[in-house]
Amino acid sequence: MPWLFADDNLKPMLLAAVALAAGLIIYRLQTRRGRDRGKAVERPTADRPRPSHLLPGKSYDDSRVELHDLAREIIGKIDSKLALLEQLIRDARQESARLETLLQQAKSDQPPANEHNDTEK
């Protein structure tokens, strides 16, 4: 790529080409957005159900009921796992408090240990 910048006369042409390409890209994006903005997006309602080819073998209402049941089942599983996690956290806090108490008792019962042992001579 250094050969592109070797000639000072090519620099302005290269910058102009990059600016032109960027301008064309922006222009095309703007015109595409303008065309898409005018189109209304159709959403299924009670009057216009979802096309049957999207839900093969089931009606829209059957699929909604099935999805609702699946959501309830998943929410139930999440709730039970959350309750179990909360219980485990409570147990861990109780055990932590018990260990802290035992540690404090052990520290108060034992005299401080000397750094140098006198038996080694």
**Token pair of 59, please?**
């009606």
pTM over 0.85: no
φ, ψ dihedrals at 86, nearest 5°: -60, -40
Asked if residue 14 lies in contact with residue 4, where contact means CB atoms within 8 angstroms, the answer is yes
Burial (CB < 10 A; 0-12, 13-18, 19+), residue 60, is: middle
Give the residue extent of every domain in the chain: 1-35, 59-110
Length of the chain (residues): 121
pLDDT in tens, 10-57: 777 778 888 888 888 888 888 877 666 656 555 656 566 555 555 556
pLDDT in tens, 53-94: 555 566 778 888 888 999 999 999 999 999 999 999 999 999
